[in-house]
Amino acid sequence: MLRERLALYLDLIRWNRPAGWLLLLWPSLSALWVAANGWPGWHLLAVFVFGTILMRSAGCCINDVADRDFDRHVKRTAERPVTRGAVSVREALWLGAVLALAAFGLVLTTNLAAIVGSFAGLAVTLIYPYAKRHVAMPQAVLGVAFSFGIPLAFAVIGGANLAWQDLSWQALVDVVPMRAWGLMAFNLFWVLAYDTEYAMVDRDDDLRIGMKTSAITLGRYDVTAIMGFYAIYLGGWWWMLSEAGLGWAWWSALVLAVLQAAWHFSLIHSRTRVGCFQAFRLNHWLGATVFGGIALSYVLR
């Protein structure tokens, strides 16, 4: 029985589908390297890697509880543990809470600025599942959640000396520079790109049940918009890091990322479920390419 429950919990947190937490991890690590001007140390690397896995897993629990009445009408999600009743709502919420607390425990090993910022990140994580009922493009809300590791990365580096007696809104603003917010804003467009590809897989089902997604809102302009989102993301990161002194490795990574985006166009232009889902799953390689270019640039400086 214990083995069966563990298998269900692992299915609930999408343990066999790491693309989700990798999409969250790569921009966070990229920002961490930029904020630290290179290697950030094993401690911060462990905090961000394991914290990302834990928070993404907690988010899956929250999302599946919120969407359980909708997921049973969607082919791809009908067999999720909460949806089919294999895991109760209470179990899923308890598991999500334990995972989120474990992630918070990691944040407690950093500094005050990161601790305060983590509450804002948690709030966005809780809001996202319900945005799909009311927001025409809920992927924008997901973009904020999946990009929040960027200002947190700058907070753990820049807020090392922030004390409780110095805590204020202005102090928190000073800890996180405009470069961090710019990278976060442009990263949001990458999330819009890959999550619209994801939404295109379920568009017919979502239309039938009344769910709001960017794929539905964009309609026949979906593919054009996705390519525009990729262009804004990559162009924006190039602009925000143009004065960071990164070398040929960064430029090479940008070229490779552009080529990957063009490959995604070949997968999604016919709007097939298989092609759109494959494009979504391949996005973590694009994020890894951007991070690799940044990290290698600091090594070669």
pLDDT tens for each residue of 165-209: 666 666 666 778 899 999 999 999 999 999 999 999 988 888 887
Q: Which of 97-101, 130-134, 209-213, 217-221 has the lowest mean pLDDT?
A: 130-134
Distance, CA of 113 to chain centre: 21
DSSP state of 191: H
Q: Would the pLDDT of 44 be above 90?
A: yes
Q: Are 253 and 210 spatial neighbours (Cβ–Cβ below 8 Å)?
A: no
**Residue whose token pair is 């490959």:** 263
Q: What is the mean pLDDT of residues 239-258?
A: 94
Amino acid at position 113, single letter: A
The answer on pLDDT for 163 being more than 80 is: no
The two three-digit tokens of residue 66, written as one number: 């919120």
- Residue 243's Cβ-count burial label (10 Å; 0-12, 13-18, 19+) is exposed
Averaged pLDDT for residues 216-241: 96
Q: Which candidate, 111, 105, 24, 33, places its Cα nearest to that of 59? A: 24
Q: Does residue 156 register a pLDDT over 80?
A: yes
| Helix (H) or strand (E) run with residue 68 in it | helix 68-71
**How many CA atoms within 13 Å lie on the side-chain side of 21?**
19
Of the chain, the percentage scoring pLDDT greater than 90 comes to 61
Superfamily of domain 2-300: UbiA prenyltransferase (1.10.357.140)
Rounded distance, CA 95 to CA 101, Å? 10
Residue 133 has pLDDT above 80, yes or no: no
**Model confidence at 215: pLDDT above 80:** yes
